[in-house]
Amino acid sequence: MNLEEIARIAGVSRSTVSRVVNGDKRVSDDARARVNEIITEYGYQPHAAARSLASRRTRMLGLRIPGEVSFIFSDPYFPEMVQGVVDACNEADYGLMLMMEPENDPISAERIYQRVIRGRHIDGVILSTSVIGDPFAGRVAADGMPAVMIGRHPTLPTVDIDNADAARQAVAHLIDHGYRQIAHIPGPCTIAAANERKAGYEAALSEAGIPLDSSLVEPGDFTELSGYLAMRHLLERPEGRPDAVFGGSDTMAVGATRAIAEAGLSVPDDVAVMGFDGLSVHTRNYPGLSTLQQSIPNLGRTAVELLLKRIANPDGPTEHVYLGTALSPRGSCGCGEAARTDATPLEELVSHLEDAPVMSACA
């Protein structure tokens, strides 16, 4: 089955069939319906290369993960985000190219850029993480490649959460329990989201009139091992151990919990723990972990939606979309068994976040 045969059966010209296949609007509704009916009946699949030549589109999107994000294979955040991107691509009939730049190898990174971006092997690219000082976003914009950032960027369309306010809420909840020596394990200072969450931690302390103590801040890198090692250092503070800790991610909070248990202490009686992200693997394996819940797959899905709009209308407004979050207190923050029993189930929380209205601004 080819375009000529479909045209003969449908009683239309070959160019009409080509327009229908390539989504051209210059076709009457009756002709479009007749051609689509025959395509469905005979199971016709358009030739990808020919379709690309006709439409000047590859129907491929890129997902770029920078080399600085070396923790991708140890942090369950990325599989959830990638799954959201894949689901949205499948729904839109787009393929996905994963662009993973090698760490500390600028020559290979440049080769990837030249081949994929300058070579126009994709129609647009999603930048998975907002890395401070990363020139990639500026380069793709200058080269006319449609792009969307998961995170903050002044000139690209973006999808994000309010990391600072969400972190402030999480720490304020610990303060409401009466904790005053609250430690923090932030992610890498090169990642914008990590810095925003740290700012939220500081804001909550300031609002409560609690002086900021730098010895209570022990940096991590979003891995479980870094959370474990940071918590060990915090427990060995000459000034005494903290009575609570806010992990900049669930993964680091889990590492901190391991260190607390290894030291013969209990959560939350000796040290309370609060995480951030609501990662499904941790809420299953550590059902008592209190956390700040976000819908990570929805970040990926929304990024694809914004990118497809950008591809269709490159001169349209630059949208900045902010998704909702929800505090999910369980046993590790000191809410107790009763509160854990009555807590909103993870599935219901995620459904609530995905159905909630988003804040959107255009530049």
Which of 69, 75, 67, 70 is CA-nearest to residue 275?
75
- The string of pLDDT tens digits covering residues 176-205 is 999 999 999 999 999 999 999 999 999 999
Alpha carbon distance 93, 76 (integer Å): 26
47 pLDDT more than 80: no
Percentage of the chain beyond pLDDT 70 is 87
Q: Which residues of 134-143 are buried (b: 16+ CB within 10 A; e: fewer)?
A: bebbeebeee
Alpha carbon distance 82, 111 (integer Å): 24
Given pLDDT bands bounded at 50, 70 and 90, which one contains residue 255? very high
Residue 304 CA: distances (Å) to CA of 6, 122, 134, 268, 299: 32, 13, 21, 40, 9
Given pLDDT bands bounded at 50, 70 and 90, which one contains residue 132? confident
At 233 the pLDDT is 97
CATH number of 163-294+325-362: 3.40.50.2300
The model's pTM is 0.78
**CATH superfamily, region 60-160+298-317:** Response regulator (3.40.50.2300)
211: DSSP letter: P
Q: Which residues, other chains included, contact 324 with Cβ-Cβ below 8 Å and sequence gap of 6+? A: 161, 294, 295, 353, 356, 357, 358
CATH number of 3-55: 1.10.260.40
- DSSP strand E in the chain: where? 60-65, 95-100, 124-127, 147-150, 158-161, 182-185, 244-247, 272-274, 291-294, 319-323, 325-328, 359-362
350 pLDDT more than 50: no
Enumerate the domain spans of the chain: 3-55, 60-160+298-317, 163-294+325-362
Q: 278 with 291: CB under 8 angstroms? A: yes
- Mean per-residue pLDDT, 37-54: 65
Chain position carrying tokens 């007749």: 34
Alpha carbon distance 227, 221 (integer Å): 8
112: DSSP letter: H
Token pair belonging to 105 = 């190898």
Q: Tell me which long-range contacts 281-284 makes (C-beta under 8 A, separation of at least 24).
A: 281/76, 282/76, 282/250, 282/251, 282/253, 282/254, 283/250, 283/328, 283/346, 284/346
* Whether the domain at 60-160+298-317 and the domain at 163-294+325-362 fall into the same CATH topology: yes
Token pair belonging to 179 = 């904790």
- Mean per-residue pLDDT, 44-60: 62
At 68 the pLDDT is 63
259 dihedral zone (left: phi>0; alpha: psi -120 to 50; beta) = alpha
Q: 71 with 223: CB under 8 angstroms? A: yes
Q: 65 with 129: CB under 8 angstroms? A: yes
